[in-house]
Amino acid sequence: MTRINKQKPGKIVKPGEDFEPWESHNPVPLPVIWIAVALGIWGTALLLQEQDSKVVAQAEREAGEAAAHDAAEGGAALFLANCSTCHQPNGAGVRLAVPPLQDSEFAKAGPGVVAQILLRGIDGPIRVKGFTYDGHMPSFAEALDDAEVAQLASYVGARFGGGETVLAPAEVAQLRMTHSGSGSWQGGAELASLVADLPPQPPMPATAEAGLDPAISDLIFAGKGDVWSCASCHGGLGQGAENTPRLAGLSQGYITKQLHDFRQGERHNEHMSFVAKGLDDAEIDGLAAYYAGLRVDSTAQPALGGDLARGEQIALQGDWGLGVPACFSCHGPSGFGVGAEFPALAAQQPAYVASQLAAWAGGHRNNSPLGLMDRISEALPEADRRAVSDYLASLPAVPAPEPQAMARIEGGEDEL
């Protein structure tokens, strides 16, 4: 570079190599001070404002904790939250479908019997007040703790049976021990051992103990060359986790349809397409039958930070302002599912339900009949999708139906 030490008029002055930088003394421009003051105020305000966040979040977490163990306090609230969708708020049941509690032989037998029914659920015909019912009641052993079962059983015994016995949580714990791993009560016939003077109960129908085809069993537990085993993702009992769905107790028709849809690209999921393409029709039928007949307690818990009260409202009543009918108006009054098109929702993994609702809303899933779920999911805001998913996860698991129970209403039949 050239060195120009002398200025030439009219020409730009190039600096000399010997120039070393220094600072002149212009004052700080006023706007810089303003900005500094303004940012200082903003920062202080933000700090003050965000102090509240932690309190709010802690409250949310606390609510979540409580929700996980059911917020309801006291027998009446527990009854409304857990029993009333089926047995109705007045305990009258539903004619020809859900037995009444009011004055029923079992409520009259006292809270001990009620607690044992709550802990194990019922899975077989039962006769109450002169009527025979199919008798599919879920177990509440997972959903309620000892104190809650005690409160609820005492409440039911007192309100509907007219007794005065109060059950202690310790007694429930004892009962829980006695009955752990026993499965559901096999209808009124088995319950008869608990209740003296019970009117005769219908016999358990002989269920053909259909052995599991070894090929299907292999598929479920070991997989085959180009297919992972079902159980490796959905769990040994088909209980699912996070956004892997619970399969136990979904109807055979539903599972079959979904597997076919995956295979044909009607429903999109990379994992399941991979699997379904490796299955033939017979295998699909065998798997569907297996999972439809599985009876497994719920492993799902509300986990999405959803508002359970709002979720309950959507599930039970819907939000007609948004054009969303109650979930249960199609999926059955207890979320047990209806037919091949309306899967069971009770105890489904919340992340799975939420992800499916989101997929419908985003147009990634579109195998719902008539586009019913597409429209409904689009209408639900994000918080509502989480709320309803969490609520459904809080419900006890669906007892897997027997095939004949899925039959349509037979008009003119005797029992009607």
Partner 1 sequence: MSSEHHDDAGQGRSAKRLIFAAGGGLALVAIGALMLEAGWVPGWISGRAPAPDVAESAYFQPPSEAEIPDGPFGEAVKRGRDIFMNTSTNAGDYVGNGLTCANCHLDGGRQPMSAPMWAAYGRYPMYRAKNDQINTMEDRVMGCFTFSMNAQHSVAGGPPPHGSDIYRDLESYFYWLATGAPTNVLMEGSGFGKVAKTELGYSPERGEQVFAANCAVCHGPDGQGQTDANGRIVFPPLWGPNSYNWGAGMARIDTAAAFVKNNMPLSQPGKLTDQEAWDVAAYIDSHERPKDARQGEMTVEQTRQRFHDGDETYYGQQVNGALLGVGTPGPERPVGAPELPIGPTPLE
Partner 2 sequence: MNRYLPLVLIALGILAFATLMLVIAPGVQIAQHAVPKGLNPYSEQESRGREQYVSLGCVYCHSQQPRSPDQAPDVERGWGRPSVAGDYVFDQPHQLGTMRTGPDLLNVGVRLPSESWHLTHLYQPRAIFGWSIMPAYPYLFEEKAEAGPEDTVVVLPKGFGPESGVVVARQAALDLTAYLLALDRTYPVPEDALRDDGYADRESGS
Partner 3 sequence: MPITMGLLLALSFVVSLLALAFLIWAIATRQFALDRAHAATVFGKGGADGPDTDGTHLFDTTGIDKVSARPVRLLILGAIFWLVLGSVFGVIASLKLHWPDWLNMAAPLTFGRMRALHLNLVAYGWLSQIGIACMFWILPRIFRTPLRAPHLPVIGFWLWNIAVTLGALAFARGWTDGEEWLEFPWQLDMLLVLAGVFFVVPLVKTARAREVDHIYVTGWYYLAAMVWFPALFFIANLPGIHYGVEEATVNWWFAHNVLGLWLTPLGVGAAYYFIPKIIGKPIYSYSLSLIGFWGLALFYSQVGIHHLIGGPVPTWVVTLSVVHSVMMFIPVIAVAINQHVTVARNLWAFKESLPLRFISFGAVMYTLASFQGSIEALRSVNSITHFTHYTVGHAHLGAYAFVSIVMFGAAYHIMPRMMGREFAHPGLIRLHFWLVVLGFAIYFFALTIGGTLQGLAMLDATRSFAESVILTKPYLEARSVGGTMMTLGHILFAINILGILRKPRAVAQSAVAAE
User: Which of partner 1, partner 2, partner 3, none sits in contact with 5, Cβ below 5 to 8 A by type?
Assistant: partner 3
Q: Is 10 in the site for partner 1 (CB under 8 A)?
A: yes
Shortest spacing between CB 1 and partner 3, in angstroms? 7
Q: Which of residues 93-152 bind partner 2 (CB under 8 A)?
A: none
Q: Is 364 in the site for partner 2 (CB under 8 A)?
A: no
Shortest spacing between CB 295 and partner 1, in angstroms? 12
User: Which of partner 1, partner 2, partner 3, none sits in contact with 73, Cβ below 5 to 8 A by type?
Assistant: none
Q: Is 274 in the site for partner 2 (CB under 8 A)?
A: yes
- Cβ atoms of residues 399 and 348 within 8 Å: no
Q: What gap in Å lies between CA 376 and CA 371, rounded to an integer?
A: 9
Which residues have CB under 8 Å from 396's CB, separation 6+? Answer: 82, 121, 138, 139, 140, 142, 143, 297, 298, 346, 347
Binding-residue total with partner 1 (CB under 8 A): 74
Nearer to partner 2 by Cβ, of 135 and 306: the residue is: 306
Of 10, 26, 181, 416, the one binding partner 3 (CB under 8 A) is 26
Q: What gap in Å lies between CA 265 and CA 257, rounded to an integer?
A: 12
Please provide the DSSP assignment of 93-132 as one string: -BTTTB---TT-HHHHT-HHHHHHHHHH-EES-EEETTEE
- Cβ atoms of residues 145 and 172 within 8 Å: no
Which one, of 297, 149, 125, lies nearest residue 202 by Cα?
Answer: 125
Q: Is 220 in the site for partner 1 (CB under 8 A)?
A: no
Which residues have CB under 8 Å from 310's CB, separation 6+? Answer: 383, 384, 387, 388
Q: Is 264 in the site for partner 2 (CB under 8 A)?
A: no
- From residue 276 to residue 295, the character string flagging contacts with partner 2 as x (rule: CB under 8 A) and all else as - is -xx-----------------
In sequence order, the β-bridge partners of residue 244 are: 241
Task: Could you list the beta-strand ranges (E) of 222-323.
Answer: 318-319
**Residue 131 — φ and ψ, nearest 5°?**
-120, 145
Of 9, 10, 27, 200, the one binding partner 3 (CB under 8 A) is 27
Interface residues toward partner 3, by CB under 8 A? 1, 5, 7, 12-29, 32-33, 35-36, 39-40, 42-44, 46-47, 50-51, 53-55, 57, 270, 354-355, 358-359, 361-364, 382, 385
- Give contact residues for partner 2 (rule: CB under 8 A): 49-50, 52-54, 56-62, 65, 68, 223, 225-229, 232-233, 235, 241-244, 270-271, 274, 277-278, 303-306, 351-352, 354-355, 358, 382-383, 385-386
